[in-house]
Structure 1
Amino acid sequence: MTKTGLIADVGGTNIRLALVEHQTGAIQYIQKYRCSEFPSIEDAVRTYLDDINEAPQEACFAIACPTSNDWISMTNHSWAFSRSETQRNLELNNFWVINDFTANSMSLPTLTEAQKIQIGGSDVDPLAPITIYGPGTGLGVAHLIQQEGRYIPIACEGGHADFAPISELEVELLSFLKGRFGRVSNERILSGPGLVNIYEALCHIHQKPAQQYQPADVSAKGLSGEDSICRQALSMFCQMMGSFGGNLALMLGAFGGVYIAGGVVGNFVDYFLASDFRNRFEEKGRFSRYCSQIPVYLITAEQPGLQGAAAYLRQELGYQLG
């Protein structure tokens, strides 16, 4: 009988659940439920297991919140639970709860060529460190290294590092946002809300009234050319994504590759690929040649969170990845 484990990718709006085959890593029976329809995560899981009539003995959940303690409390939803109590209630032999960007980093060794797009650089060094970042509601950052045949994810809060302007216009952007927030982190710019912050700063700089736009409005109106300030905001966003990615590459020596995840860039992939992103990634003065060799990949996989949870579970059970 094929042994399977339960995996979950848990966000503030939806929970995605699936099974992963221990031996092959194949993911099957993917289901998505709205979190608001269940009083607890355990109720959602029991509904899923009843639907597929399975009783796995291992599980790995990827959740967008801190996961270092037994008590897990979601940042963008009301669900909270005890890891140990949930393990007992679901009769699991093994139960891992990991951060969503830990899962994203663990997905990287499992990505196929069709699940990523290379943006410049040379071939990867398979033994070198890897970094991943991604703008969504916030700005996630994580790293991945190999040691004795195992992949070790390194969680961090790199999105909260200080924003460093490059151009005079970015200095003006920083000044505006400093007046609003005091301290300006990269997340204030490289995220969905950050895209709106850039737009509103540009409206102030150009002395034009700002509309009550959401991130999707800024990207849509920028892509269509309907709003020239939205277009400029989109261009600056891509440039600053490049600068930040290059900084991460320098700090880690990420010759294993720099990967981009998150939902924001997925809204304008073609524009991003044609933007000034790569030039800004490499624009590092004396170390421009150094960065020019480092490949960047845009992740296009539909379920990187589930892939990463599956990879984490399988590695903990002793299976080789990649």
Structure 2
Amino acid sequence: MVNETEALAPDTCAVVADIGGTNARFCRINLTTFELDRVQVFACADYPTLTDVMTAYSREQDVPLEHVAIAIACPVDTDEINMTNHHWQFSIRGVRKSMGLKTFKVLNDFAAAAMSIVTLQPHELKQIGGGKITPKAPKAVLGAGTGLGVGHLITLPDGQVMPLPGEGGHVDWAPTNEKEWAIHRFIHNRFGRVSAERVLSGPGLETLYLALADYHGRNVVPLSAAKIGQRALSGIDTLALETVNQFFASLGSFAGNLALNLNTYGGVYIAGGVVPKLMQLMATSNFRARFEHKGRFCQVAEAIPCFVITAEHAGLRGVGQYLKQSLQQSK
């Protein structure tokens, strides 16, 4: 990163944030215990700039801004940041200088999700198949929400960890059977190119519902992802249940591909807003079978565990971990 930092004191508290296209979630974090407090959510549309919302948080929570780090839902490759789904644009150096910050770090939201893995306790993870993790092996993280986020985490020789952000949610979606080819055609006719995110996201769940209705020759009223999930969980809508099962089957194939990319014997971790709400149906779905269905490499996939992250505000803890590590490296 291009940011400058100062050395970290043992009792340092910092302000971290998770910035999406709709909401900006801020909190204070203790960089020793990773305890969070003074959590506040702001609507991005209510503030002209990032610095405006940072100032509002500091004023309303009576928290000084010294060490600050944010995760943001867009690429972070240079000093200039341009949000993908919102109008905020800023210079990292410019914000640090104008706000008088000792430290200002910016990272991609799924880099933060990857960093959160090392802060999680066993009770904050629900294992879905596979064996035991190899602690220093590569890890993968993915999450379905408004979009499909993807990242990896590797352990360096000195024991520090480094996130590998990317745009893996925008790779091509690969159908594996006749029904999925029909879904692919339906989505292609609507949107053109069919990316994984078109299927594996909240909006993707809504599209899957319509695609499967078309496959079965049914006329249905479009439903929100939340409503589809509710109807599937209650068992009152067989099409909704089929939609969720198809979502998990495709998620399993995609997660298995991620596992093979870097031989992630450290585990594959699932974040995001969609999966935790539907976990009751995950165990009876084809998620794990599709994860392991990798032909000659099925034994590799079978050994790799998957986990659903159940911790609240894991992304904010990941931002804190990244900041803590950066400050330690500056000593």
TM-score normalized by the length of structure 2: 0.91
Q: Find out whether 1:190 has 2:200 as its counterpart.
A: yes
The 1-side partners of 2:306 and 2:264 are apart by 10
Q: Tell me whether 295-304 or 13-22 shows the greater mean CA deviation.
A: 13-22
The 1-side partners of 2:169 and 2:85 are apart by 18
- Listed as ranges, the matches of 1:43-58 within 5 Å are 43-58=52-67
The 2-side partners of 1:170 and 1:72 are apart by 37
- Listed as ranges, the matches of 1:64-83 within 5 Å are 64-83=73-92
For structure 2, the residue ranges without an aligned partner over 5 or more in a row are 1-8
Alpha-carbon distance, 1:156 to partner:
1.2
In 2, are the aligned partners of 1:137 and 1:193 still within 8 Å (CA)?
Answer: yes
Which residue is 1:154 aligned to?
164
Which residue is 1:232 aligned to?
242
Q: Find out whether 1:266 has 2:276 as its counterpart.
A: yes
Which residue is 1:103 aligned to?
112
Q: Which amino acid aligns with 1:30?
A: V
Structure 1 residues 29 and 198: CA distance shift in structure 2, 3 A: same
Q: Secondary structure at the match of 2:265?
A: coil
The 2-side partners of 1:21 and 1:274 are apart by 39
Q: Which amino acid aligns with 1:12?
A: G
Q: Secondary structure at the match of 2:77?
A: coil
Alpha-carbon distance, 1:231 to partner:
1.5
In 1, are the aligned partners of 2:205 and 2:225 still within 8 Å (CA)?
Answer: yes
Which residue is 1:22 aligned to?
31
Q: Find out whether 1:138 has 2:185 as its counterpart.
A: no
The 2-side partners of 1:152 and 1:208 are apart by 48
TM-score normalized by the length of structure 1: 0.94
- Listed as ranges, the matches of 1:1-322 within 5 Å are 2-147=11-156, 148-318=158-328
The 2-side partners of 1:159 and 1:35 are apart by 24
For structure 1, the residue ranges without an aligned partner over 5 or more in a row are none
The 1-side partners of 2:13 and 2:213 are apart by 53
In 2, are the aligned partners of 1:4 and 1:56 still within 8 Å (CA)?
Answer: no
Q: Which amino acid aligns with 1:243?
A: S
Alpha-carbon distance, 1:38 to partner:
2.5
Alpha-carbon distance, 1:121 to partner:
0.9
Alpha-carbon distance, 1:283 to partner:
1.4
Alpha-carbon distance, 1:97 to partner:
0.8
Identical-residue share of aligned pairs (%):
42
Please, what is the CA RMSD of the aligned residues? 1.7
Alpha-carbon distance, 1:53 to partner:
2.8
